[in-house]
């Protein structure tokens, strides 16, 4: 693997390749009714109560009749069938009393006393419970009835008194008798909580609780739920119950009363109101989907109706303004109008018109020249992100894609953490250079929350930045792209459930899948035009102001199509093919090389339709080998077609891939190969001539046989007519039934040996022979090499640990920092010590200094030194030197000669390929002080 040196921890912003684990089996999705929980229940009601109410209305007492007459034609004196007392006394055309300067409570209670034969309540049993004044000056007062310190549930009195002292109404259905309830509970509060769980149909989980010593035995649970004793009136008499505030699941919240003797549910009221939010289906002012719509977030199961923040089963969204990856209190996305008590996020987009190119044609959402202007759309941006995380979650979960819980989708205990406006105030209330013009998705193991970061676009103070001033959340293609990284990293996994998208070709497909699934969905909804013969499926159309700024060309560019398809740095115009790998950006780069794969998949979509292409692409991920190459994945798609359709689409699939240079004779060593060979040939017919290949694999130094070496035909060694064999104890191998022709990238490799790769190998009819001599790499991890020591941070969890220096892959490597993992401003040289399995005489050393793990090219090693030791304690310098930009992406021989008795090799990174490191303009007189341009090889 290459070696690189990081400049700062901020280089870790985007994590696309994180370990994942197997998911549990998928459960059936809940219905909408199940999501909304249990229905309301009240034991104080029922036919008997209704019958009594009707009787009392038909046969009022003399006192009630007299009160009614005094209230006039629009008077109300409604008697409760349970208690026989007024549930409301009022006048629709006036007040119950005249104006008064007395205290409001006295006004109300005097009225009750004056009509004692109607209210039938002992005022001495009433306790003031709550009182407040509304904006119109009306005073609202509640009294509860209390028995031995235990309040009556619900029944009591409420009075509303106008600002001038006139009594508006009296409400409450007070109990006429407070006796009959048990004096002590048989069920504890913990047992009552378990009953609420059982009632809600969720698991009963023991919880810690704190119990009070008051008459109500008030109990607080570790979940924030509470229980306290109450007297509950029923048609059969008063009952002692547990009055509870419970949240049995993330979408259920109740006020509930459990009979403290029997456990019966006496009362259940859902405190859930269903939430809605506003978002653009596409980008603002897009020809389709450019007008904000209202989405039923709760009805779709995305958000608990009781939620106060954007946190649901599939997504948790906040604005990470300070980029600390935490939801600080001021960064929550709030409801539009908390005063209403409704859970709505109907935020309108505030439009800006900064002096930025593109803002005259596309909607800009902030002003890069005005610090803090992004805050005006913070709630809109967060709501937009939350809604589209859920929309895309549901799309991927549904057929034909079927990214379910069992496959590791993000729902339940690992919803996506969406960070809107990430880093928006990291530099003087503006984004710094690490939080602009980008987005990322970090995917941890199944069961742990992934993180998506949406940045602002257009660098402050830089008129040359071509992007419009917008935030990524308003370009849904970007949101969907990042989300799809989670899909691919949880489908292309090893036996332990870990992601294997670590190679450069696999990483390129990761980027391509993200583009493809995003724009496939947009086109499917009619939000993305795809006119035949026109290159119009453009990634980042909104933030790029209609230009190809994120990708070199649209993803629907065809081979040979020059209009709108300009090509890449080292390619001709038109769509890309496999032979363009490493040439699109002028060097291997996963986003650029991913354009080859995404254009191929778009061709497949055009050929087979969206639904079938979705099914094949997704199932193929599940079938693909570890660290797949493009050819591996082509084969997996063919296999998926066999599984799904009995091979009915094989000819069409082969035609699509051959047209893009991934035909039968295409070759690649593996997913790390940055120079694959294209072939535009269709597979041979079954009756075409065949041959065989056999020979021996030996050690080039000793001549001895190498057992277990693999001889393979690139592109034909992972699941489609495998042309591969392993050498036996004598080093012999044999591969039969090979269709005749000239194959590229035929190789032999063994554990601890450097691979040998032939550019081409021709197979003739009959027997063919090829013997291989491999050279031992004593530092190789697979051959017994190990890391004895290193300094600096350990980035193993991110795939950039020190063992990356010796795993023989050229796609990933050892990454470190110029400092010690913290941004201290002080550079320290970094080293890694490799222990060889035995002492050897070293005749040659080679190093690939390239950047790795997402670092920029300037983080590649520049100045370096190698020390050797026989015991790991005493080291001697063997060689030092300087690498240049032309040294990247290949093994460079740095030593030939004889170093005897070596078992430890220490490699030093002295500085990276940054013009200003360590000293601006310094002459490159030696490895330690090179500060000139990385392509200046004069030193």
pLDDT in tens, 585-598: 988 888 999 999 99
Answer yes or no: are the C-beta atoms of 869 and 851 closer than 8 Å. Answer: no
Half-sphere exposure of residue 614, counting CA atoms within 13 Å on the CB side? 21
Which conformational region is residue 838 in: left (phi greater than 0), alpha (psi within -120 to 50 degrees), or beta?
Answer: beta
Answer yes or no: are the C-beta atoms of 186 and 180 closer than 8 Å. Answer: no
Same domain, 54 and 158: yes
**Burial state string for 319-328 with b = 16 or more CB within 10 A and e = fewer than 16:** bbbebeeebe
Task: Please give the full DSSP string across 304-342, using - where no structure is assigned.
Answer: -TT-SSSB-SSEEEEE-TT-SSS--GGGB---S-GGGT-
| Better-predicted residue by pLDDT, 826 or 216 | 216
Answer yes or no: are the C-beta atoms of 750 and 697 closer than 8 Å. Answer: yes
Q: Would you say residue 31 lies in a domain?
A: no
| CA dihedral for 105, 111, 113, 118, sign (positive or negative) | negative
Average pLDDT over residues 157-178: 90
Give me the pLDDT at residue 24, please: 25
The strand pairing partners of 135, in sequence order, are none
Give the end of a domain, one of 463, 490, 517.
Answer: 490
Average pLDDT over residues 317-328: 91
User: CA dist 535 to 514, 528, 538, 558, 562, Å?
Assistant: 19, 12, 8, 8, 9
**Lookup: tokens for 639:** 């296999």
Give me the pLDDT at residue 133, please: 81
**Lookup: tokens for 757:** 């790769």
- Rounded Cα–Cα distance for residues 799 and 817 (Å): 15
Lowest mean pLDDT among 243-252, 291-300, 470-479: 243-252
Q: Would you say residue 534 lies in a domain?
A: yes
Lowest mean pLDDT among 9-18, 54-63, 403-412: 9-18
Give me the pLDDT at residue 296, please: 87
Same domain, 446 and 530: no
- The pLDDT-based confidence of 938 (bands split at 50, 70, 90) is very low
Same domain, 584 and 650: yes
Give the end of a domain, one of 241, 270, 299.
Answer: 270
Average pLDDT over residues 801-814: 82
**Lookup: tokens for 528:** 């993305």
Give the torsion through C-alpha atoms of 576, 581, 582, 586, to 10 deg. -10
Number of H helices, E strands in the chain: 13, 34
- Rounded Cα–Cα distance for residues 242 and 680 (Å): 76
pLDDT exceeds 80 at position 800: no
Domain CATH number, residue 761: 2.60.40.1120
User: CA dist 493 to 15, 19, 615, 670, 730, Å?
Assistant: 16, 9, 18, 16, 34
The total domain count for the chain is 6
User: CA dist 72 to 90, 671, 706, Å?
Assistant: 10, 88, 108
Same domain, 93 and 156: yes
Closest CA to 828 of 858, 794, 791, 796: 791
Average pLDDT over residues 644-662: 95
Q: In angstroms, how far is CA 645 from the centroid of its own chain?
A: 32
Neighbouring CB atoms inside 10 A of 533's CB total 10
Give me the pLDDT at residue 285, please: 80
Half-sphere exposure of residue 353, counting CA atoms within 13 Å on the CB side? 2
Q: Which residues contact 903 (CB under 8 A, 6 or more apart)?
A: 835, 836, 838, 839, 840, 869, 870, 871, 872
Task: Please give the full DSSP string across 218-242, using - where no structure is assigned.
Answer: -EEETTS-EEEEEEEEETTEEEEEE
Q: Which residues contact 925 (CB under 8 A, 6 or more apart)?
A: 939
Q: Would you say residue 129 lies in a domain?
A: yes
Considering the chain, what is the average pLDDT of its residues?
85
Q: What is the percent of the chain with per-residue pLDDT over 90, rounded to a whole number?
A: 50
- The pLDDT-based confidence of 337 (bands split at 50, 70, 90) is low
Q: In what order do the strands lie in the sheet with 710-713?
A: 724-726, 710-713, 741-749, 756-763
Answer yes or no: are the C-beta atoms of 838 and 808 closer than 8 Å. Answer: no
Same domain, 484 and 498: no
Q: What is the percent of the chain with per-residue pLDDT over 70, rounded to a whole number?
A: 87
- Rounded Cα–Cα distance for residues 97 and 115 (Å): 13
Same domain, 141 and 157: yes
pLDDT exceeds 80 at position 2: no
Domain CATH number, residue 820: 2.60.120.260
The strand pairing partners of 932, in sequence order, are none
Domain CATH number, residue 616: 1.10.390.10
For 127, the domain range is 47-171
Answer yes or no: are the C-beta atoms of 676 and 745 closer than 8 Å. Answer: yes
Same domain, 644 and 629: yes
Q: Would you say residue 19 lies in a domain?
A: no
- Rounded Cα–Cα distance for residues 128 and 144 (Å): 7
Give me the pLDDT at residue 272, please: 41
Q: Would you say residue 6 lies in a domain?
A: no
Lowest mean pLDDT among 109-113, 251-255, 364-368: 251-255
Average pLDDT over residues 883-892: 85
Give the end of a domain, one of 647, 676, 705.
Answer: 676
- The pLDDT-based confidence of 13 (bands split at 50, 70, 90) is very low
Same domain, 770 and 791: no
Determine the Cα angle at 143 with ends 119 and 141, to 5°: 105
Radius of gyration of the chain (CA): 36
Q: Would you say residue 618 lies in a domain?
A: yes
Same domain, 859 and 710: no
- Rounded Cα–Cα distance for residues 412 and 609 (Å): 32
Answer yes or no: are the C-beta atoms of 181 and 234 closer than 8 Å. Answer: no
Average pLDDT over residues 299-304: 90
Same domain, 662 and 543: yes
Answer yes or no: are the C-beta atoms of 609 and 565 closer than 8 Å. Answer: no
Answer yes or no: are the C-beta atoms of 424 and 319 closer than 8 Å. Answer: yes
- Rounded Cα–Cα distance for residues 843 and 719 (Å): 39
Average pLDDT over residues 874-882: 94
The strand pairing partners of 453, in sequence order, are 419, 440
Same domain, 629 and 513: yes
Same domain, 843 and 803: yes
Closest CA to 325 of 20, 13, 7, 6: 13
- Rounded Cα–Cα distance for residues 59 and 71 (Å): 18
pLDDT exceeds 90 at position 83: yes
Q: Would you say residue 27 lies in a domain?
A: no
- Rounded Cα–Cα distance for residues 922 and 910 (Å): 15
- Rounded Cα–Cα distance for residues 246 and 197 (Å): 9
Q: Would you say residue 685 lies in a domain?
A: no
Query: What is the pTM (predicted TM-score) of this model?
Result: 0.59
Q: Is the peptide bond before 346 cis (omega within 30 degrees of 0)?
A: no
Domain CATH number, residue 197: 3.10.450
Average pLDDT over residues 84-104: 90
């Amino acid at each position: 693997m290459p070696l690189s040196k990081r400049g700062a921890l901020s280089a870790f912003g985007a994590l696309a390749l994180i370990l994942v684990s197997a998911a549990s089996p998928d459960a059936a999705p809940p219905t909408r009714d199940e999501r909304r929980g249990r229905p309301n229940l009240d034991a104080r009601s029922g036919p008997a109560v209704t019958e009594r109410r009707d009787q009392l209305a038909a046969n009022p007492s003399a006192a009630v009749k007299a009160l009614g007459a005094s209230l006039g034609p629009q008077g109300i004196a409604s008697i409760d069938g349970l208690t026989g007392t007024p549930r409301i006394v009022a006048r629709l055309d006036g007040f119950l009393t005249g104006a008064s300067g007395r205290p409001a409570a006295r006004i109300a209670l005097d009225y009750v006393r004056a009509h004692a034969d109607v209210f039938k309540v002992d005022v001495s049993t009433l306790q003031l419970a709550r009182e407040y004044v509304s904006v119109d000056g009306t005073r609202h007062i509640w009294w509860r009835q209390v028995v031995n310190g235990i309040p009556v549930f619900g029944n009591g009195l409420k009075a509303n008194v106008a600002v001038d002292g006139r009594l508006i109404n009296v409400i409450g259905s007070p109990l006429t008798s407070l006796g009959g309830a048990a004096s002590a509970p048989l069920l504890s509060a913990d047992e009552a909580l378990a009953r609420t769980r059982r009632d809600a149909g969720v698991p009963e989980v023991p919880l810690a609780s704190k119990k009070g010593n008051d008459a109500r035995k008030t109990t607080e649970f570790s979940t924030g739920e509470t229980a306290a004793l109450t007297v509950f009136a029923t048609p059969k008499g008063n009952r002692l119950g547990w009055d509870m505030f419970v949240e049995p699941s993330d979408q259920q919240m109740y006020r509930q009363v459990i009979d403290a003797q029997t456990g019966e549910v006496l009362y259940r009221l859902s405190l859930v109101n269903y939430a809605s939010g506003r978002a653009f289906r596409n980008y603002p002012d897009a020809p389709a989907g450019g007008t904000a719509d209202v989405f039923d977030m709760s009805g779709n199961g995305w958000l608990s109706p009781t939620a106060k923040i954007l946190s649901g089963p599939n997504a948790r969204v906040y604005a990470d303004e300070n980029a600390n990856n935490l939801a600080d209190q001021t960064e929550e996305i709030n409801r539009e109008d908390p005063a209403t008590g409704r859970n709505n996020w109907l935020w309108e987009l505030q439009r800006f018109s900064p002096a930025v190119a593109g803002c005259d044609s596309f909607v800009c959402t902030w002003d890069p020249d005005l610090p803090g202007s992004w805050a005006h759309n913070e709630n809109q941006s967060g709501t937009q992100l939350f809604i589209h995380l859920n929309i895309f979650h549901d799309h991927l979960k549904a057929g034909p894609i079927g990214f379910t819980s069992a496959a590791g989708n993000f729902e339940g205990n690992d919803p996506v953490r969406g960070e809107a406006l990430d880093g928006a105030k990291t530099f003087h209330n503006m984004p710094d250079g690490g939080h602009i013009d980008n987005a990322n998705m970090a995917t941890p193991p199944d069961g742990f929350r992934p993180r998506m970061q949406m940045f602002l676009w257009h660098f402050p103070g830089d008129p040359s930045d071509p992007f419009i001033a917008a935030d990524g959340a308003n370009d849904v293609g970007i949101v969907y792209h990042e989300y799809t990284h989670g899909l691919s990293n949880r489908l292309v996994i090893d036996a332990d459930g870990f992601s294997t998208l670590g190679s450069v070709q696999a990483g390129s497909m990761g980027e391509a899948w993200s583009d493809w699934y995003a724009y496939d969905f947009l086109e499917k909804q009619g939000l993305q035009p795809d006119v035949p013969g026109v290159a119009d499926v453009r990634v980042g159309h909104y933030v790029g102001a209609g230009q190809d700024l994120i990708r070199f060309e649209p993803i629907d560019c065809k081979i040979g199509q020059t209009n709108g398809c300009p090509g890449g740095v080292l390619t001709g115009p038109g769509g890309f093919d496999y032979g363009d790998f490493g040439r699109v950006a002028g060097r291997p780069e996963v986003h650029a090389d991913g354009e080859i794969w995404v254009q191929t998949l778009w061709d497949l979509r055009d050929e087979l339709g969206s639904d079938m292409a979705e099914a094949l692409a997704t199932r193929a991920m599940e079938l693909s080998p570890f660290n797949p190459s493009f050819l591996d994945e082509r084969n997996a798609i063919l296999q998926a077609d066999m599984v799904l359709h009995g091979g009915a689409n094989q000819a069409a699939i082969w035609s699509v891939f051959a047209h893009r240079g991934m035909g039968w004779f295409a070759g690649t060593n593996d997913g790390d190969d940055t120079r694959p060979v294209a072939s535009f040939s269709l597979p041979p017919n079954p009756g075409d001539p065949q041959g065989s290949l056999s020979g021996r694999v030996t050690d080039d130094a000793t001549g001895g046989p190498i057992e277990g070496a693999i001889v393979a035909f690139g592109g034909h060694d992972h699941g489609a007519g495998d042309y591969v064999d392993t050498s036996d104890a004598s080093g012999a191998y044999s591969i039969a039934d090979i269709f005749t022709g000239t194959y590229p990238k035929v190789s032999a490799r063994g554990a601890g040996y450097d691979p040998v790769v032939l550019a081409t190998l021709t197979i003739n009819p009959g027997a063919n022979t090829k013997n291989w001599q491999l050279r031992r790499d004593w530092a190789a991890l697979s051959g017994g090499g190990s890391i004895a020591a290193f300094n600096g941070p350990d980035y193993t969890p991110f795939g950039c640990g020190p063992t990356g220096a010796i795993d023989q892959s050229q796609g990933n490597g050892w990454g470190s920092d110029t400092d010690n993992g913290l941004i201290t401003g002080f550079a320290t040289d970094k080293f890694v010590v490799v222990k060889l399995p035995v002492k050897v005489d070293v005749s040659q050393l080679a190093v690939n200094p390239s950047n790795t793990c997402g670092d920029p090219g300037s983080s590649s090693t520049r100045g370096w030194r190698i020390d050797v030791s026989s015991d790991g304690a005493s080291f001697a310098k063997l060689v030092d030197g300087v690498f240049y930009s032309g040294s990247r992406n290949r093994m460079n021989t740095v030593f030939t000669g004889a170093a005897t008795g070596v078992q430890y090799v220490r490699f030093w990174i002295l500085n990276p390929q940054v013009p200003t490191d360590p000293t601006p303009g310094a002459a490159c007189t030696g490895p330690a002080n090179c500060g000139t341009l990385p392509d200046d090889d004069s030193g």
